[in-house]
């Protein structure tokens, strides 16, 4: 588990903020961008994609995770999320649980404001005493 380098962090901020532009959010008008950094240095972005049948929508963080997993990425340095609000928004409960499936509980989750300021919390702080893959009987 390593933190992002300064160069990686700068790119992470840029890509996360830019990812908001791909949001499809005609109902909420609430743009969300997300970006995962893999241990091999790849950046995988995502945005929220809503649906006229509201529950069928998907959050930005899960879009990024689903893209990453289906493209074969398994090891992540961090994830970041950005919205158009200040203070920064934090990932919803379903996204936290989805992260829990694929990411180390010590992984940093960065939350950006529109002007690029960030807060960071570990996944374990956002989702304490979580239920994960190892908790199921073998
Ligand atoms: N949303 C995200 O993309 N990520 C979150 O963690 C919270 C909420 C999206 C879902 C919906 O498209 C919009 O924000 C309003 O809830």
Q: Is the peptide bond before 2 cis (omega within 30 degrees of 0)?
A: no
In a domain, 135, yes or no: no
Q: What is the pLDDT of residue 71?
A: 98
Give this prediction's pTM. 0.97
In a domain, 48, yes or no: yes
Query: 40 or 1: which carries more pLDDT confidence?
Result: 40
Question: Which member of 21, 61, 71, 101 is catalytic?
Answer: 61
Full residue range of the structural domain in which residue 81 is found: 6-123
Sheet with 76-82: strands ordered across: 43-47, 33-38, 76-82, 108-112, 118-122
In a domain, 136, yes or no: no
What is the arithmetic mean of pLDDT over 26-45? 98
Long-range contacts of 27-31 (CB under 8 A, 24+ apart): 27/52, 27/54, 27/57, 30/83, 30/84, 31/83, 31/84
Write out the two tokens for 31. Answer: 């743009």
Tens of pLDDT, residue by residue over 67-118, are 999 999 999 999 999 999 999 999 999 999 999 999 999 999 999 999 999 9
In a domain, 131, yes or no: no
pLDDT surpassing 80 at residue 1: no
Q: What is the pLDDT of residue 57?
A: 98
Give the domain CATH number at 29: 3.40.140.10
- Any catalytic annotation for residue 101? no
pLDDT surpassing 90 at residue 28: yes
Map tokens 């995988």 to a residue: 44
pLDDT surpassing 80 at residue 21: yes
What are residue 106's DSSP bridge partners?
none
Counting ligand 1 atoms within 8 A of each CB, the residue from 28, 31, 64, 79 with the most, and so the one to mutate, is 28
């Amino acid at each position: 588990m390593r933190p992002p380098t300064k160069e990686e962090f700068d790119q992470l901020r840029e890509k996360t903020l830019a990812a908001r532009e791909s949001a499809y959010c005609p109902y909420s008008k609430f743009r969300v961008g997300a970006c995962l950094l893999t241990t091999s240095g790849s950046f995988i972005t995502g945005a929220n994609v809503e649906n006229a049948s509201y529950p069928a929508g998907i959050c930005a963080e899960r879009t990024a995770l689903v893209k990453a997993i289906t493209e074969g990425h398994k090891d992540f340095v961090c994830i970041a999320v950005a919205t158009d609000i200040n203070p920064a928004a934090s990932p919803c409960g379903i996204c936290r649980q989805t992260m829990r499936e694929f990411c180390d509980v010590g992984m940093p989750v960065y939350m950006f404001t529109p002007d690029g300021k960030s807060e960071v919390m570990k996944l374990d702080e956002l989702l304490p005493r979580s239920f994960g893959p190892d908790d199921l009987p073998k």
